[in-house]
Amino acid sequence: MSVGVFTFITLLCVVQLIFALDATVYYTHSSFRVEVGVRDFDRGAAVASYQPRLEEIGWDILQVETGNSDLPDDIKAYAAGYIEGFLTSKRIWTHFSNMFEFTWGKSSKMPEYVSEFFKNQKNWVEDQVAANKQDSYWQQVNLIQRQFEGLVQGYNSNASESQKIAYTDLHTISSFGDLFDIIPTKKDKRPNFYNMTIEQLHNYVATNTHCSAIIKVTPDLSDIYFGHTSWFTYASMTRIWKKYDFKYKNPLTKSTSISFSSYPAVIASNDDFYITSQKMVVIETTNVLMKNDLYDIVKPNALLCWQRAMLANRLSTSSPEWVNIFSKHNSGTYNNQFMALDLKKFKPGQEIKNDTLWII
């Protein structure tokens, strides 16, 4: 083989590695182990394919699938998070560093009251799961908790000692939509709308909202369109398009596949833009709280917005189901106008059927 051919093949392998990094996570003796370059659905607890293409197309691409082994759902959920945290560890550190500085300032620390809110919220969820072990709904909540726990552990297993991140720190930044309604629960952190000029008010709305969406049918009812846009600080532009294929045994699981726009260390969208295997489309427009006393009823004894959204995505087959599930245990944080669109209901050229679209 000539040197030129060998060099070409080597470069080709490098290019393929850049565009598709496959891995499998194995669970043995209560521990998790990642093997890169392997896709083993039969023995693996979870399998992932990661394409770090941010610098090329503006997005990384990540697909995570649970394996075919007979492991319990909570082990598979943890493994799914673990392999994501492991493979995307460099992006997680960049995103965390960017967002931590953006949120708290270059040399600041997270305020104690914010940290306590997230710790109390986590404890409340764990208490509910422990008290309702036979309840399929709370089992699903636990799967989300376990997935994020796995992500934190997977990240830290592949991070240098100086870049390890504590659970609460990562949980807080990964919940940035909810976070920006938790910060004003302290009264001296609330905006004074009465003292704002019109320009200041416009700027406040622009910087404290995140996204908007539109759904439209053509005049002849031949097609339906949905669109979504999001805006945020430039520091957050470490974007990842994700697809989760989780084949849980839990009887409430309806959507095994969910595709969505996302960020490193975030196991939901937070934009929000979702497409599920039940042919459901879920998008939203941010609503800004303009009445400060509403922050008085924001509570940690509830599920965060992103947790409720992923629950509804996984557990629903219709728009009214999605809205009903999402409405439970509302924390009062990240208040948005969600739109749940059931594409199964849409038939080209026919009248729009009831329950095609629900808005909450």
Strands 257-262 and 46-51: unpaired
Confidence class for position 19, pLDDT limits 50, 70, 90: low
Taking only the tens place, the pLDDT of each residue in 293-346 is 999 999 999 999 999 999 999 999 999 999 999 999 999 999 999 999 999 999
What is the signed CA dihedral for 198, 202, 203, 204, rounded to 10 degrees?
A: 100
Q: Can you tell me the distance from the alpha carbon of 44 to that of 50, in angstroms, rounded to the nearest whole number?
A: 17
Q: Are the C-beta atoms of 224 and 346 separated by less than 8 Å? A: yes
Look at residue 3 and tell me whether its pLDDT is greater than 90.
Answer: no
Check pLDDT > 60 for residue 9.
Answer: no
355 contacts: CB under 8 Å, gap ≥ 6: 318, 319, 320, 342, 345
8 Å CB contact between 262 and 270: yes
Predicted local confidence at residue 108, as pLDDT: 78
- pLDDT at residue 165 above 70? yes
Backbone angles phi, psi at 175, to 5 degrees: -105, 40
**Other beta carbons less than 10 A from residue 188's beta carbon:** 5
pLDDT confidence of residue 7: 37
Instruction: Please tell me the class of the 3-359 domain.
Output: alpha beta
Predicted pLDDT of residue 207 = 83
Residue 107 has pLDDT above 80, yes or no: no
How many other CB atoms are found less than 10 A from the CB of residue 349?
8
Least confident range from 53-67, 93-107, 330-344: namely 93-107
Contact between 121 and 181 under an 8 Å Cβ cutoff? The reply is: no
Domain boundaries, the chain: 3-359
Q: Answer yes or no: is pLDDT of 29 > 90.
A: no
Distance (Å, whole) CA 47 – CA 41: 7
Question: What are the angstrom distances between the C-alpha of 359 and each of 91, 152, 228, 318, 336?
Answer: 34, 33, 15, 12, 10
Phi first, then psi: give them for residue 87, nearest 5 degrees.
-70, -35
CA-to-CA distance for 297 and 286, rounded, in angstroms?
19
Q: How confident is the model at residue 14 (pLDDT cuts 50, 70, 90)?
A: very low
The one-character DSSP state at 273 is E
Average pLDDT over residues 205-211: 86
pLDDT of residue 205: 87
Structure tokens at 233: 């600080």
Give the neighbor-by-neighbor strand order of the sheet with 273-276.
31-36, 21-28, 46-51, 60-66, 240-245, 257-262, 273-276, 280-286, 336-342, 357-359
pLDDT-derived band of residue 52, with 50, 70 and 90 as boundaries?
very high
Please say if the pLDDT value at position 2 is more than 60. Answer: no
Q: Report percent pLDDT > 70 for the chain.
A: 95
Q: 179 pLDDT exceeds 80?
A: yes
Give the phi and the psi of residue 285 in degrees, each rounded to 5: -120, 130
pLDDT above 50 (res 15): no
Give the chain's radius of gyration (CA, Å).
Answer: 21
Predicted TM-score of the model (pTM): 0.92
Which H helix or E strand runs over 264?
none
Q: Is residue 231's pLDDT more than 90?
A: no
